Amino acid sequence: MFRNFIPKSEIKMKTLNIPEGYQPVMPYLIVENAPGFMEFTQKVFGAEEKFKAMRDEKLIQHAEVSIGGSVIMFADATEQYKPQPASLFVYVDDCDAVYKNAIANGATSVTEPGDQSYGRSAGVKDAFGNTWWITAV
């Protein structure tokens, strides 16, 4: 299936110079109403704004929030860059409380909180098209 598969033992990576506070893989979302998305992440997940550059007085050109040390990058959709929502898995202290908070802040339920083999989990879809899998262990 993967014709150019290279075994991990043969992959040679140079030393990555990743800036402090960032990880090697970070989601980059393009959403309608990026300021609203930032507010949602702050209210529901306690996100902290790391960076924000504006395209004009209303549109975010590039922004970053940190949730528990993980960074999500995002921007407002434009004619050139259409919305690109994602599914995000996030660990939290209290699945039920975060689920209720997400619903109170405009998300819709995908799955109600329930006990799974990997922890207590729920799913919500935010008003920006992203699905959040909320899990407490």
pLDDT of residue 9: 61
CB atoms within 10 A of CB 53: 10
pLDDT of residue 82: 97
Domain ranges within the chain, ordered by starting residue: 26-136
pLDDT of residue 14: 74
Buried b (16+ CB within 10 A) or exposed e, 24-47: eeeeebbbebbebbbebbeebbeb
What pTM, to 2 d.p., does this model score? Answer: 0.89
- Intervals of the chain under pLDDT 50: none
C-alpha Rg value of the chain to the nearest Å: 17
Three-class SS state of 43: helix
Tell me the per-residue pLDDT of 81-120, one tens digit each, with 9 for 90 and over: 999 999 999 999 999 999 999 999 999 999 999 999 999 9
Instruction: For residue 26, give every residue at least 6 positions away whose Cβ sits within 8 Å of its Cβ, in sequence order, or none.
Output: 70, 71, 72, 73
pLDDT of residue 54: 98
Residue 48 one-letter amino acid: E
pLDDT of residue 2: 53
Q: Which fold has domain 26-136?
A: 2,3-Dihydroxybiphenyl 1,2-Dioxygenase; domain 1 (3.10.180)
